[in-house]
Copies of this chain bind each other. A is one copy, B any other.
Amino acid sequence: MSNVVEATRGAIVESRHVVHVAVAHAERGLIAGCGDARHVSFVRSAIKMFQAVPLAEDGVVERFALTPEEVALCTASHNAEPFHVAAARAILAKAGVTDDALACGPHPPMYAPAAHALERSGVAPGRIHNNCSGKHAGMLALARHHGWSTEGYHRADHPVQQRVLQTLCEWSGLEPSAVALGVDGCGLPTFALPLDRTALACARFAAAADRGDTPAAMIVRAMTRHPEFVAGTGRLCTELMRAASGRVFAKVGAEGYYCAGVPERALGIAVKIEDGARRASEPAVLAVLHALSVLSVSAWERLGDFARPVITNTRGEAVGDIRTRLTLVPASPSRERQGGVSM
């Protein structure tokens, strides 16, 4: 198969992940893919840049003087390192609310040293440590800006979430009625989209950023100039955006989803691992960027530990690795007509 990520041990493939990929161009729609490029699944946190669009579009960034770092945090699945927590609190303070207004549930910081430090300090993980707290803080600022109640801002029928759904539909070219909803890990609505539509939204976002259009340009600039605020220490989103020197924006989502965009080429990429494994989505998105010749040789080498991770055991021995076997297939015009990816 040309769309798998394999986990090896010794000379054997121990486990195997099926990969679905869609690559879209802002004007031409789906141009390549592998697996089922129209696979429908929840986009989860991989589209957080679109959830931040209303902040730029409606004037929230200006109104509350959000810094680029804070805008980046609004698109983040962050590590809850001290600088993430401080930035989330800064957004809340500017919006005139406190931690208690956050609707996301508590979980330990994703960054192990931060989690250990919290554990040792005897402080229980709070909502502020949720990897989505920046996004939630931004949504609270959006509600305050419009004079909407902050109560229940996370529910699908609240104006904040209606505004987000409208945004995602604008960029992906779907009717709201065509988008099934689920509840995300942090309590917000999440959206089931065909993979090619997610890729198309990213491609259009990339093209708009390249043209310098707000909101895309503001958000992509914030993400790519402050990538440590989008994820954090040791995380692929951060390292990929650093290695690509501003030429790529990237965002991971739960259950094996990954989105990326290449502004100068008006390309959008959406990856979904059939079984939801993150260990497969990270090498897969890098393999796609490599296949598209997006990454320089030095960037590709720098990201080697993410592209082909070594599997180690509790003794620290290398016992296997993760290998991506992925061939992008050009999208056929007939399939495009059938699938109805019209621009």
Which positions in A face B, CB cutoff 8 Å?
A: 7, 9-12, 14-18, 40-42, 103-107, 116, 119-120, 122, 130, 180-187, 190, 192, 255-256, 273-277, 280, 313-317, 319-320
CA distance A158 to B116 in the complex (A): 38
Q: Provide the residues of chain B in CB contact with A275, threshold 8 Å.
A: 15-18, 274-275, 277, 280
CA distance A7 to B41 in the complex (A): 11
Are B186 and A314 in contact, with the CB atoms below 8 A? yes
Instruction: Name the contact of A183 in the complex, choosing from B10, B16, B40 (C-beta under 8 A).
Output: B10
Are A313 and B15 in contact, with the CB atoms below 8 A? no
Are B313 and A184 in contact, with the CB atoms below 8 A? yes
* A38 to B: closest C-beta gap in Å: 14
* A48 to B: closest C-beta gap in Å: 16
CA distance A42 to B320 in the complex (A): 12
A-B pairs with beta carbons under 8 Å apart, 6 shown: A14-B41, A104-B315, A105-B314, A182-B320, A185-B314, A187-B313
* A101 to B: closest C-beta gap in Å: 14
CA distance A232 to B333 in the complex (A): 56
Are B255 and A14 in contact, with the CB atoms below 8 A? yes
Are A317 and B183 in contact, with the CB atoms below 8 A? yes
A119-B116, A119-B120, A120-B120 are contacts. A276–B10 as well, Cβ < 8 Å? no
Are A10 and B181 in contact, with the CB atoms below 8 A? yes
Q: Provide the residues of chain B in CB contact with A317, threshold 8 Å.
A: 183, 187
Instruction: Name the contact of A313 in the complex, choosing from B11, B105, B181 (C-beta under 8 A).
Output: B105
Q: Provide the residues of chain B in CB contact with A9, threshold 8 Å.
A: 42, 182-183, 190
Are B10 and A313 in contact, with the CB atoms below 8 A? no
* A312 to B: closest C-beta gap in Å: 9
CA distance A181 to B182 in the complex (A): 43
Q: Provide the residues of chain B in CB contact with A190, threshold 8 Å.
A: 9
Q: Which 9 A-B pairs have the closest CB atoms?
A: A105-B314, A15-B276, A10-B182, A9-B182, A105-B315, A275-B275, A183-B319, A187-B315, A185-B313
Are A314 and B106 in contact, with the CB atoms below 8 A? yes
Chain B minimum-CB-distance residue to A317: B183
Q: Provide the residues of chain B in CB contact with A17, threshold 8 Å.
A: 275
Are A130 and B314 in contact, with the CB atoms below 8 A? yes
Q: Provide the residues of chain B in CB contact with A255, threshold 8 Å.
A: 7, 14-15
Chain B minimum-CB-distance residue to A127: B314
CA distance A255 to B186 in the complex (A): 27
Are B187 and A314 in contact, with the CB atoms below 8 A? yes
